[in-house]
């Protein structure tokens, strides 16, 4: 840069002086790119000096003359002017028009993969129609009702926490297709309310809402209203209210939905209320209301602190530290309390963004992988990772791309630093790290026989679980009215037939006809006795006996859903549950399990993509659903040599493991090839958990990040030569 270069401030820029907690700030709006810039009085005074007549040397002299008590170096001035030029705020003397400014259309040309916007319409007519509603919602009565609803909902969750937890759906219920569709629809609707709240409050304070459209909000298309002109308001209180309006609206929706959910019966309305309550509260706490992300909570925080450039200043500290450490550029990296606070915020914000992004990718992967489309989530993750790497490379290599900074770079220092970084990266990429395979499992006895109902009936008695039984010992007694009636009828008919036969034999000496009836009577009696024998056998089956010596254990839980709760055939849980005494057990129902040994095992189903990592004798940690305390441990004992044809019925009934589609949803064929892994359990207390489900984490051999990446690529892509 030479003294022959003369810049001027773009004439179409708009600016306003606003009040912040730290003093006056000047907000500059770029009407072409729709961007806002915050400058302190000294920086803004420098911009106002740009008139195409002054050279950088003249400007530096003018700045030093107007502020003799402040030191402002030539390098700092040139960096500031270069940054303003890159932001599209300056034009060279005789430069292009505003419509052709390099930086102006750039935000429209290059869309971010995670946060693009598509303007759709001017919301002036919509806002005018909703103004009466806004006036009513912002009245003192409406605000008081909002506070009552919110505080009472919070009080409900705290005081009735145990009841709320008991009614809260299990994790599997959230992943069902119907609930997933409900959550998506509710999220879209709530975002519309959220954005309209911003727009209506902004309109009430005289801010013009520029546009409305669709934006990508962490992979989810959502409605948005552009209220960025709120930065031009002088009052910090009004800016805070506009920023917080969306969160306050969502909290109000969550409070109302919480009460409706509490008083509603199971059904679509309860599911919708649950989705609204969960979506609005979690979205506000973790996303919109979190100041570590550049959403509503961030803008509320910067107005409260009076630091409109909080995020950029935090990033600038790390940028300066990087350039000083790697390129030996003489940057001023402050270590006072304020600068360390900015650095801490910048690091925390970057880390939290990565956590949220990783959480979103994990949720997408869990949904797609459960339906056999895990490759799509892997491709999406690689695209996002490529974008992050590209952004990181642009940040790291900025001094080499900037002609002004490139002259201050020390090549020897840069080369040495790059060698050290490459070594650290290689070390991190090739160090073996722990890895594990996660799979659903069901607890089973290692050696057992199941006892099934042969004749349906009403359960009248059943030995307690854990009872030691012998072969042939009666373990349960059923009652069936039809069987009892038929047995009594056949016994009565046998008595009658025997008497008729005896009478015919007595009368045959005097009556020839009686002698001729005897063969028919004998045949009728034989038929009755045969039917009576079958009836007695059926009656004996109502007394269920143990097939072997062992310990009596409950069967897997019944997943039946009743059509009518008054129906005696309805029951859930196991026949050993006290409330199920007197229920009707149908033919083929598993009444109990007789374990012939005290060993307990777990059967896990591992996908074909992960089975190569599983080996015998590997340690396993098991978390059993509904059992408190530490996770149980086990050891891999056996791996099936080929994929299984059918999943355990417990996993099918609860839909924990995806199966092939079928009209009645009763298919037990896994959606992707699965292998059976038998895990030996040494905890004797798990004998009462037979049939319970859970999640197993198998500790596998260590593998480096590079090896895992290659494995993922091999799973995702196939190259046939």
Q: What's the pLDDT tens digit per position in 135-190?
A: 888 889 999 999 999 999 999 889 988 888 877 876 666 766 777 788 888 888 99
| pLDDT value of residue 52 | 66
Average pLDDT over residues 614-620: 91
| Three-class secondary structure assignment of 520-534 | HHHHHHHHHHHHHHH
Residue 122 covered by a domain: yes
pLDDT computed for residue 71 by the predictor: 60
pLDDT score of 15: 79
Q: With 80 as the cut, is the pLDDT of residue 617 above it? A: yes
The closest of 340, 374, 155, 329 to 255, measured between CA atoms, is 155
Q: Return d(Cα 627, Cα 687) in angstroms, integer.
A: 13
Which of 108-122, 278-292, 317-331, 373-387 has the least mean pLDDT? 108-122
Query: Per the domain annotation, does 716 fall within a domain?
Result: no
Say if residue 320 is in the same domain as residue 353. Answer: yes
In the chain, count H helices and then E strands: 22, 22
710 found inside a domain: no
- Alpha carbons 510 and 95: distance in angstroms, whole number: 141
Total structural domains in the chain? 5
Are residues 495 and 384 both part of a single domain?
Answer: no
Q: Which residue has the tokens 């109502």?
A: 542
User: Do residues 214 and 221 touch, judged by C-beta distance below 8 A?
Assistant: yes
Q: Is the model's pLDDT at 2 over the cut of 70?
A: no
* Same domain assignment for residues 46 and 104: yes
511-to-497, 500, 520, 684 alpha-carbon distances in Å: 19, 14, 16, 77
Residues paired with 607 in a beta bridge: 674
Query: Residue 572, exposed/middle/buried by CB under 10 A (0-12, 13-18, 19+)?
Result: middle
User: Which candidate, 560, 67, 413, 708, places its Cα nearest to that of 76?
Assistant: 67
Residue at which a domain ends, from 588, 613, 631: 588
Instruction: For residue 237, give every residue at least 6 positions away whose Cβ sits within 8 Å of its Cβ, in sequence order, or none.
Output: none
Residues 595/443, Cβ–Cβ less than 8 Å = no
pLDDT for 141 equals 92
Is the confidence at residue 563, as pLDDT, over 80?
no
Does residue 313 share a domain with residue 424? yes
Helix (H, G, I), strand (E, B) or coil at 87: coil
Name every residue whose Cβ is closer than 8 Å to that of residue 437 and which is 6 or more positions away in sequence: 606, 610, 613, 614, 697, 698, 700
Give yes or no for residue 667 having a pLDDT over 80: no
Alpha carbon distance 617, 677 (integer Å): 11
Which domain range does residue 160 map to?
114-306
Query: Of the candidates 125, 132, 122, which has an alpha carbon nearest to the alpha carbon of residue 204?
Result: 132
Choice between 708 and 718, residue whose per-residue pLDDT is larger: 708
- 627 & 667 share domain: yes
Residue range 244-256: mean pLDDT, rounded: 92
Q: What angle do CA 107, 309, 199 make, to 5 degrees?
A: 65
Tens digit of each residue's pLDDT (9 = 90 or more) over 101-135: 443 334 333 334 456 778 888 888 899 999 898 88
- Concatenating the DSSP letter of every residue in 617-642 gives T-EEEEEETT--SSPEEEEEEEE-SS
Determine what percent of the chain is predicted with pLDDT higher than 70.
Answer: 84
Same domain, 93 and 148: no
The average pLDDT across 353-382 equals: 77
Same-domain pairing of 244 and 385: no
Distance of CA 472 to the CA centre of its chain: 51
**Cα(528)–Cα(490) distance, rounded to whole angstroms?**
7
Whether 87 and 103 have beta carbons less than 8 Å apart is answered as yes
Residues 612 and 648 in one domain: yes
In a domain, residue 508? The reply is: yes
Looking at the fold, whether 95 and 124 belong to one and the same domain comes out as: no
Least confident span in 100-104, 124-128, 238-242, 324-328: 100-104
φ, ψ for residue 308 (rounded to 5)? -65, -25
If asked whether residues 146 and 277 sit together in one domain, one would say yes
Percentage of residues in the chain having pLDDT higher than 90: 9
Where a domain ends, among 69, 85, 108? 108
pLDDT of amino acid 665? 53
Domain assignment of residue 721, yes or no: no
Residue 8 parent element (H or E): strand 7-9
**Is the residue at 635 inside a domain?**
yes
Residues 580 and 632 in one domain: no
Q: Among 11-20, 362-371, 616-625, which is the least confidently predicted range?
A: 362-371
DSSP assignment string, 52-64: SS--HHHHHHHHH
**Of 89, 108, 127, which residue sits at a domain end?**
108
Q: How high is the pLDDT of residue 111?
A: 39
The confidence score (pLDDT) of residue 259 equals 92
Domain CATH for 641: 2.40.30.170
pLDDT at 394: 81
Pair of tokens at residue 337: 């309390």
Q: Please, which residues bridge with residue 474 across strands? A: 545
Q: 689 and 603: one domain?
A: yes
Radius of gyration (C-alpha) of the chain in whole angstroms: 38
pTM exceeds 0.85 for this model: no
Residue 712, domain member (yes or no): no
Domain membership of residue 717 (yes or no) is no
**What is residue 562's predicted lDDT score, i.e. its pLDDT?**
43
Q: Which residue has the tokens 């916007």?
A: 117
């Amino acid at each position: 840069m030479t003294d022959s270069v003369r810049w001027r401030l773009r004439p179409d820029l708009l600016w306003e002086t606003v009040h912040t907690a730290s003093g006056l700030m000047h907000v500059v709006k770029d009407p072409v790119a729709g961007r806002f810039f915050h400058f302190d009085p000294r920086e803004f005074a420098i911009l106002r000096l740009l008139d195409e007549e002054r050279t950088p040397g003249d400007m530096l002299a003018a700045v030093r003359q107007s502020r003799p008590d402040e030191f402002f170096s030539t390098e700092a001035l040139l960096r500031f002017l270069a940054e303003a030029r890159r932001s599209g705020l300056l034009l060279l003397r005789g430069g292009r028009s505003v419509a052709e400014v390099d930086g102006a259309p750039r935000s429209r040309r290059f869309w971010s993969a995670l946060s693009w916007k598509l303007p759709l319409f001017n919301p002036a007519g919509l806002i005018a129609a909703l103004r009466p509603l806004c006036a009513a919602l912002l009245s003192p009565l409406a605000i008081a009702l909002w506070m009552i609803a919110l505080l009472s909902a919070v009080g409900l969750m705290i005081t009735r926490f145990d009841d709320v937890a008991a009614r809260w759906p299990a994790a599997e219920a959230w992943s069902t297709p119907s609930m997933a569709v409900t959550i998506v629809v509710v999220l879209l609707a709530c975002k519309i309310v959220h954005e309209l709240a911003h727009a209506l409050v902004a309109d009430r304070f005289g801010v013009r809402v520029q546009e409305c459209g669709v934006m990508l909000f962490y992979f989810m298309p959502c409605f948005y209203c552009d209220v960025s002109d709120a930065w031009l308001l002088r009052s910090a209180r009004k800016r805070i209210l506009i920023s917080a309006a969306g969160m306050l609206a969502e909290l109000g929706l969550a409070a109302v939905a919480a009460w409706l959910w509490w008083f509603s019966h199971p059904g679509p309305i309860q599911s919708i209320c649950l989705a609204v309550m969960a979506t609005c509260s979690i979205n506000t706490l973790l996303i919109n209301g979190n100041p570590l992300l550049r959403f509503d909570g961030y803008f509320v925080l910067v107005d409260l602190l009076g630091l409109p450039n909080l995020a950029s200043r935090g990033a600038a500290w790390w940028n300066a530290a990087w350039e000083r450490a790697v390129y030996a550029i003489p940057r001023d990296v402050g270590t006072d309390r304020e600068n360390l606070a900015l650095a801490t915020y910048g690091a925390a914000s970057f880390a939290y963004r990565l956590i949220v992004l990783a959480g979103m990718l994990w949720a997408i992967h869990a949904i797609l992988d459960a339906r056999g489309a895990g490759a799509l989530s892997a491709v999406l993750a690689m695209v996002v990772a490529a974008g992050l790497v590209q952004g990181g490379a642009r940040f790291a290599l900025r001094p080499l791309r900037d002609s002004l900074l490139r002259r201050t770079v020390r090549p020897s220092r840069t080369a040495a630093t790059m060698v050290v970084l490459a070594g650290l990266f290689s070390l991190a990429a090739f160090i073996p790290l722990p890895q594990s395979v996660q799979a659903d499992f069901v607890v089973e006895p290692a050696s057992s026989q199941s006892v099934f109902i042969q004749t349906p009936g009403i359960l009248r008695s059943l030995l307690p679980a854990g009872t030691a039984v012998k072969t042939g010992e009666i373990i349960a007694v059923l009652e069936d009215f039809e069987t009892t009636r038929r047995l009594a009828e056949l016994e009565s008919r046998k008595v009658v037939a025997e008497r008729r036969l005896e009478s015919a034999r007595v009368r045959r000496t005097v009556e020839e006809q009686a002698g001729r009836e005897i063969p028919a009577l004998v045949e009728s009696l034989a038929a009755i006795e045969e039917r009576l024998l079958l009836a007695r056998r059926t009656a004996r089956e109502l007394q269920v006996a143990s097939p072997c010596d062992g310990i009596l254990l409950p069967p897997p839980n019944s997943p039946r859903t009743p059509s009518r709760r008054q129906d005696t055939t309805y029951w859930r849980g196991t026949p050993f549950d006290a409330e199920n005494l007197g229920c009707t057990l149908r033919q083929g129902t598993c009444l109990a399990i007789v374990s012939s040994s005290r060993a307990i095992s777990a059967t896990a189903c591992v996908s074909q993509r992960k089975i190569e990592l599983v080996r015998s004798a590997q340690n396993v940690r098991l978390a059993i659903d509904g059992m408190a305390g530490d996770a149980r441990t086990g050891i891999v004992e056996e791996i099936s040599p080929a994929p299984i044809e059918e999943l355990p019925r417990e996993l099918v009934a609860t839909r924990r493991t995806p199966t092939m589609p079928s009209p009645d949803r009763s298919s037990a064929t896994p959606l992707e090839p699965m292998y059976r892994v038998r895990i030996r359990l040494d905890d004797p207390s798990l004998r009462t958990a037979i049939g319970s489900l859970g999640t197993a984490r198998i500790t596998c051999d260590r593998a480096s990040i590079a090896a895992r990446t290659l494995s993922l690529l091999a799973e995702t892509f196939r190259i046939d030569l």
